[in-house]
């Protein structure tokens, strides 16, 4: 199970699964907007089956940090080699957020200086771990996998801010390219014999774009790389309430409208319906239709069978019940 959350945070936490409770695993790894009551059962399962014959392995691929678990994992270790760096690590790595905001605020000078600061910190972490790997393994109990996660995470940090100021509008596409490379590493080197389920926004997992400007998202890379071994499942809902992260608001919606995908799928007696475009001839699947995606701004238009291999449509949903957790 690969979440759209920090590669460093999730993979370090999975390597410590025996010492974490189900709630700690949830709290210390995911972006805050994932932290809701509705997925506690999933994390109970991940924890309870972690040492079974068939565990649900928990991993992540985002080049952004989604929690403080990566920071906390490396902070104590690097203090042996650079106390000042260790003490300032969290604030130093917040340079990424300041860099991103500077781009939005059109502050070129701050944009460049925060990128330099972020890269300098990532390179220093890299240097400490690569130069002292044997000592870190012997004195701090680190494994080869954990050290490799640090290396991969730092490389991702450095690449993340390698976007010229004039091209800052492409930072989202740039992020998806890095996530694809992280996913390839997980798929080919870490879990080469596993089937992987990706939990991410429709926009990240789609096979083809519906945007006129033709951005290339992670799913586009995956569809090219894996061909028929990649299955993109879009998820939609007919009505209810949903949380919109940008703006921090709850949206009430009803998509039972002519010409919308949500209205064309027969829900039947169940609260949901799955439509597989690859095995079923659906007349409307090749038409340009509308659907509701709250994080893409609302109603969007696309050709269903071109963008996805199938869709899951829910009849009615409620907004998540967020947990009051510490991280």
Instruction: From residue 212, give the alpha-carbon distance in Å to each of 13, 134, 302, 327.
Output: 39, 51, 11, 38
Q: Is the pLDDT of residue 268 over 90?
A: no
Q: DSSP character for 106?
A: T
**Mean pLDDT of the 155-170 span:** 96
pLDDT of residue 100: 96
More confident residue, 215 or 310: 310
Within 8 A by CB and 6+ apart from 315, the residues are: 237, 238, 239, 267, 270, 271, 272
**Mean pLDDT of the 99-108 span:** 97
Q: Is the pLDDT of residue 152 over 80?
A: yes
Model confidence at 217, pLDDT cuts 50, 70, 90, reads: very high
Average pLDDT, the chain: 93
**65-79, 110-124, 250-264: least confident range:** 250-264
Does residue 177 sit in helix, strand or coil?
Answer: helix
- Nearest C-alpha neighbor of 68 from the set 117, 5, 156: 5
pLDDT of residue 212: 63
Does residue 250 sit in helix, strand or coil?
Answer: strand
Distance CA 118, CA 99 (A): 9
pLDDT of residue 258: 76
Model confidence at 326, pLDDT cuts 50, 70, 90, reads: low
Provide the token pair at 308.
Answer: 């996805």
pLDDT of residue 135: 96
Q: Is the pLDDT of residue 251 over 90?
A: no
**39-48, 60-69, 217-226, 247-256: least confident range:** 247-256
pLDDT of residue 297: 78
Q: Report yes or no: 176 and 216 within 8 Å, Cβ to Cβ.
A: yes
Model confidence at 157, pLDDT cuts 50, 70, 90, reads: very high
Model confidence at 325, pLDDT cuts 50, 70, 90, reads: confident
pLDDT of residue 246: 76
Question: For a pLDDT cut of 70, what percent of the chain falls above it?
Answer: 98
Torsion angle of the four alpha carbons 290, 293, 296, 297, in this order, in degrees rounded to the nearest 10: 80
Q: Is the pLDDT of residue 185 over 80?
A: yes
pTM listed for this prediction: 0.94
Count how many Cα atoms sit within 13 Å of the Cα of residue 224 in the half-sphere of its side chain: 9
At 12, phi and psi to the nearest 5? -70, -40
Burial bucket for residue 80 (CB in 10 Å: 0-12, 13-18, 19+): middle
- Nearest C-alpha neighbor of 7 from the set 204, 124, 149: 149
């Amino acid at each position: 199970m690969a979440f759209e959350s920090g590669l460093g945070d999730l993979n370090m936490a999975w390597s410590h699964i025996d010492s974490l409770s189900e709630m700690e695993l949830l709290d210390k790894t995911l972006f805050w907007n994932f932290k809701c009551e509705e997925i506690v059962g999933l994390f109970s399962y991940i924890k309870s089956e972690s040492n079974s014959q068939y565990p649900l392995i928990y991993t992540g691929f985002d080049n952004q940090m989604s929690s403080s678990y990566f920071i906390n994992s490396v902070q104590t270790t690097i203090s042996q080699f650079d106390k000042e760096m260790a003490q300032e690590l969290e604030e130093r790595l917040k340079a990424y957020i300041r860099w991103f905001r500077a781009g939005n605020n059109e502050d070129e000078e701050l944009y460049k200086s925060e990128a330099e600061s972020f890269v300098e910190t990532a390179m220093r972490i890299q240097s400490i771990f690569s130069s002292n790997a044997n000592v870190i393994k012997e004195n701090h109990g680190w494994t080869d996998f954990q050290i490799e996660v640090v290396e991969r995470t730092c490389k991702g940090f450095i690449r993340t801010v390698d976007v010229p100021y004039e091209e800052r509008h492409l930072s989202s596409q740039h992020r998806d390219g890095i996530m694809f490379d992280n996913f390839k590493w997980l798929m080919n080197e870490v879990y080469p014999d596993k089937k992987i389920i990706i939990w991410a926004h429709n926009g990240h997992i789609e096979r083809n774009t519906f945007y006129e400007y033709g951005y290339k998202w992670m799913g586009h890379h995956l569809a090219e790389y894996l061909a028929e071994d990649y299955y993109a499942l879009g998820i939609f809902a007919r009505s209810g309430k949903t949380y919109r992260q940008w703006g921090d608001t709850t949206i009430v919606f009803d998509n039972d409208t002519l010409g919308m995908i949500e209205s064309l799928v027969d829900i039947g007696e169940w609260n949901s319906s799955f439509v597989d475009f690859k095995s079923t001839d659906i007349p409307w699947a090749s038409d340009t239709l509308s659907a509701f995606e709250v994080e893409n701004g609302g109603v969007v238009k696309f050709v269903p069978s071109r963008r996805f291999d199938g869709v899951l449509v829910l009849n009615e949903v409620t907004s998540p019940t967020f947990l009051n957790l510490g991280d």
